[in-house]
Structure 1
Amino acid sequence: MGSRARARRAAAMLGFLGLLCAVLGAVMIVMVPTLIKQQVLKNVRIDPSSLSFNMWKEIPVPFYLSVYFFDVVNPSAVLLGEKPQVRERGPYVYREFRHKSNITFNDNDTVSFLEYRSFQFQPDRSHGLESDYIVMPNILVLGAAMMMENKPMSLKLIMTLAFSTLGERAFMNRTVGEIMWGYEDPLVHLVNKYLPNMFPFKGKFGLFAELNNSNSGLFTVFTGVKDFSRIHLVDKWNGLSKVKYWHSDQCNMINGTSGQMWAPFMTPETSLEFYSPEACRSMNLVYKESGVFQGIPTYRFVAPSTLFANGSTYPPNEGFCPCLESGIQNISTCRFNAPLFLSHPHFYNADPMLAEAVLGLHPNPEEHSLFLDVHPEPRLVESTVTTCTSAPANGACTLIMVQTPAGDFHMQ
């Protein structure tokens, strides 16, 4: 009799424990995701007490910049009117180091900072050395010639005489290291002496000479402490809420983040918008597809085909004009009137006539589209858009950017 009572009590206790576990399980299913989300929101804010603050301050993820050049095979023939023929050289890979300084928290839920960058050549990752020679357009000569276009004839004659006297040519044969980090050119000293402020630099000239050990300007972004919906969004850049390079308010707007971190919990409806000081404009990437990278689920965001379209093809881009063929964006207004343009590599997503004007270009989406793969949960994005210059196209200098599946930036 006693054993039956104990059995009934044990059964009742087990039943109660089972019910309790079921109730707790149901509560956990409902509450745990909410608790996790709260902790995530708390720790991705830009706040010295958050777990991600030191990561935001000095990004531990390695950045690699892969630089490709177009080597002009037939410079003499080009001067006689033939099509340029190019071959792609590289990659020349650089490790990029970044750290934020001058961090100042403001009263309006924002933080201001300067982010400094430096580059270190990685020969083991590169296909070539910095001592390799590249034949490419003489950017200084072409830039100076374009800047003299609306000057008096007397100045044009003086500049022509200077080109001849100094032995300047339309094409140059320089090492990768010189092209990247600078070389002495007598034209620079002459122009700075007699036409001060015509060139925005003194001394050596190089595509990345001004970027190494420098910053991209003073960013002021929202911390997300008081209003999480605005986390990482840019409030101002160099004290400006919009730039003055373009011809419409929409094109001058500074939208999105600074290009390194976005709000967590992305969905396919999310768009990645960021401001690029190098490109002098905001850009927007849109969701394309989900995938997996080294076991981590990712969302792929790509540049729309209209990113560098001209105003005739895509009217909202009219503010970036004067425009040439669709697929290249004129950025001379923010680059001291130098003949510089933005495009995808090999003129991908551009008017076909551009790629057809240069022998050796083979645009395709697998190699030349601009995209970002991001984990939708809160993590640092391993990239930011970087710009570059090179390759002649109808006498202009092309400035291109693209990110590859490996997370490297190809500059062409």
Structure 2
Amino acid sequence: MGCDRNCGLITGAVIGAVLAVFGGILMPVGDMLIQKTIKKEVVLEEGTIAFKNWVKTGTEIYRQFWIFDVQNPQEVMMNSSNIQVKQRGPYTYRVRFLAKENITQDPKDNTVSFLQPNGAIFEPSLSVGTEADNFTVLNLAVAAASHIYPNPFVQVVLNSLINKSKSSMFQVRTLRELLWGYTDPFLSLVPYPVSTRVGMFYPYNNTADGVYKVFNGKDSISKVAIIDTYKGKRSIYAVFESDVNLKGIPVYRFVLPSKAFASPVQNPDNHCFCTEKIISKNCTSYGVLDISKCKEGKPVYISLPHFLYASPDVSETIDGLNPNEEEHRTYLDIEPITGFTLQFAKRLQVNLLVKPSNKIQVLKRLKRNYIVPILWLNETGTIGDEKAKLFRSQVTGKINLLGLIEMILLSVGVVMFVAFMISYCACRSKTIK
């Protein structure tokens, strides 16, 4: 009888130990199997689920625009006053709905290159007005001409054409014209071949953005679809901020750090963005990046909306700005197991530099340089409810279930082993007595 009882206790302890060991083994083995299964489907190569959804995204992506409407154009031109702006928006377009093109795999560095065809569809229900709404904004052609052609004699000629076309430092344009292009009256008078179409995003439709080069995830799924280079240059980066719950899915939030727009003195990686030392005070100003080299010499600067994170001198000539970190920063929410970006908000502001010019009448009274905000945009995309539900059931749900099974087996096994061993020892003690 005692033997049967002791044998039963030992058997129970052994079963407990086996369960605990099995639970312990299942953790690394299960995780390895999950990683193997996920890696098979999330890498960007022909035949995977990820590739199919990546080539032509099923998530609706919107680009919202807020335009800076200038309230005091005459005061600025006559007295070199601060520019008073009032933002108006959002005006919303659906973008990135076309399939990627020229997709090329590079097995040497596990990347894939592609072009993203451009297209924009106006969404009236998500906008405060129509594409026919008017705005008082900087005259893009006049501001750029004095910067591109610094020669005094050339500027005298340009001045006569500006006056003849009745152009000024500011102009009134519709939303459609400002974004997608219009025929400029001043440029139409230029006697040598020059593009007469001007617009913040002209040309756009029927063009392609890129070349993008992103990681395909074959060497590490944590790098899936992360941009390696854009047009062969260095890309802006993001840093981890916090854990976020997105529709029941745990994700990591990455944000664009203030250092990305730091001065070259603070961040040497930004040395190529400082070409106007007069404007940027020997490259000590921060918060804006000079991208004129990418825009055929046009004095274009990018920043975060409302000059968020910028040094005070950058916005000292502009009134009406209210930088807000929650509304104006850029972030990405990435699911850590698959590396998929499930939500993002890309926010950028486009600005133009205007400098005084003794030879151009409409700029003659200016006594200082202005970095003039034209508009800021918010490009957003979020995983839909149905896809989030599918993701939870196919990925996070199975992983959580496996983790629960592992913990139950380990916990039950340890409890059984300890309980049966204690009982066995107690019984042995009584038998000896």
Pairwise TM-score range, normalised by the shorter structure: 0.7 to 0.9
Q: How does 1:150-299 map to 2 (within 5 A)?
A: 151-153=151-153, 155-191=154-190, 193-194=191-192, 196=193, 202-225=195-218, 227-228=219-220, 232=224, 261-262=225-226, 275-276=229-230, 281-299=234-252
Hey, what's the Cα distance between the residues in 1 that align with 2:146 and 2:258?
32
Does residue 84 of structure 2 align to residue 85 of structure 1? yes
Q: Which AA in structure 2 matches 1:212?
A: N
Q: Once the 2 structures are TM-superposed, how far is the Cα of residue 141 of structure 1 from its aligned partner?
A: 1.1
CA distance in structure 2 between the aligned counterparts of 1:14 and 1:73, rounded to whole angstroms? 83
Superposed CA offset, 1:85-110 (max 9, x none): 11010000111123112223456354
TM-score, normalised to structure 2, is: 0.72
Instruction: Please name the residue that 2:363 is paired with.
Output: none
When Rg is computed on C-alpha atoms for both structures, the one with the higher figure is: 2
What is the deviation of 1:83?
Answer: 1.1
- CA 1:405 to 1:168, structure 2 compared with 1: closer, same or farther past 3 Å? closer
| Distance in 2 of aligned mates of 1:174 and 1:91 | 17
The one-letter amino acid paired with 2:371 is A
Query: 332-341 vs 24-33, which deviates more?
Result: 24-33
- 8 Å Cα contact 1:207-1:388 kept in structure 2: no
Tell me the secondary structure at the aligned position of residue 126 of structure 2: coil
- Give, in angstroms, the shift of residue 349 of structure 1: 0.8
Q: How far apart are 1:331 and its partner, in Å?
A: 1.4
Alignment of 1:329-368 (within 5 A): 329-368=289-328
1:139 aligns with 2:159: no
Counterparts of 1:51-130 in structure 2 under 5 Å? Answer: 51-80=49-78, 81-96=80-95, 97-106=97-106, 108=108, 109-130=110-131
CA displacement at 1:231 relative to structure 2: 5.2
Distance, in Å, in 1 between the alignment partners of 2:228 and 2:377 is 15
Stretch moving more, 345-354 or 104-113: 104-113
- The residue that corresponds to 1:49 in the other structure is 47
Asked if the contact 2:137/2:374 (under 8 Å) is kept, the reply is no
CA 1:281–1:138: 2 relative to 1, 3 Å: farther
Looking at structure 1, the residues matched to 288 and 106 of structure 2 have their Cα atoms a distance apart, in angstroms, of 39
1:62 maps to amino acid: E
Distance 1:275 1:126, change over 3 A: farther
C-alpha spacing 1:345/1:106, structure 2 compared with 1 (3 Å): closer
Aligned with residue 350 of structure 2, among 381, 385, 389: 389
**1:369 aligned residue (317, 329, 349):** 329
2:247 counterpart letter in structure 1: Q
The residue aligned with 2:256 is 303
Q: Which runs of 5+ in 2 are unaligned?
A: 355-368, 383-433
Alpha-carbon RMSD across the aligned residues, in angstroms, is: 3.5
Q: Secondary structure at the match of 2:318?
A: coil
Q: Which has the higher helix share?
A: 2
Residue 66 of structure 1: how far off its partner (Å): 0.7
Deviates more, 1:122-131 or 1:362-371: 362-371
TM-superposed deviation, 1:405: 8.5
Which letter maps to 2:161? Answer: A
Q: Does 1:327 align with 2:283?
A: no
Q: For 1:94-147, what per-residue CA distance to the aligned partner results, in whole angstroms no more than 9, with x for missing partners? A: 111231122234563543322212111111111221111010000111111211
Q: What is the TM-score with the length of structure 1 in the denominator?
A: 0.75
Q: How does 1:400-411 map to 2 (within 5 A)?
A: 403=378
The more displaced of 12-21 and 203-212 is: 12-21
CA distance in 1, matches of 2:333, 2:258: 18
Give the Cα–Cα distance (whole angstroms) in 1 for the partners of residues 271 and 157 of structure 2: 36
Equivalent-residue separation in structure 1 for 2:327 and 2:206 (angstroms): 30
Count residues in correspondence: 356
Indicate the residue corresponding to 2:408 in structure 1: none
**Are the equivalent residues in 2 in contact too, given 1:305–1:349 (CA < 8 A)?**
yes
Between stretches 47-56 and 72-81, larger displacement belongs to 47-56
- Displacement of 1:175 in angstroms is 0.7
Name the SS of the counterpart of 2:237 in structure 1.
strand
From the superposition, tell whether residues 384 and 101 of structure 1 become closer, same or farther in structure 2 (CA, over 3 Å): farther
Quote how far apart the aligned CAs of 1:78 are: 0.8
**1-side partners of 2:374 and 2:34: how far apart?**
43
**1:400, 1:185 → 2: CA distance?**
19
CA distance in 2, matches of 1:156, 1:369: 39
Shift of 1:217: 2.6
- CA drift of 1:188 comes to 3.1
C-alpha distance after superposition, 1:205-230 (max 9, x if no partner): 221222333212333445344x3479
Partners in 2 of 1:163 and 1:312 — Cα distance? 39
* Percent of matched pairs sharing the same residue: 31
> How far 1:391 sits from its partner (Å)?
7.2
The answer (yes or no) to whether the contact 1:310–1:317 under 8 Å persists in 2 is yes
Of structures 1 and 2, the one scoring higher in RCO (CA 8 A, sep 6+) is 2
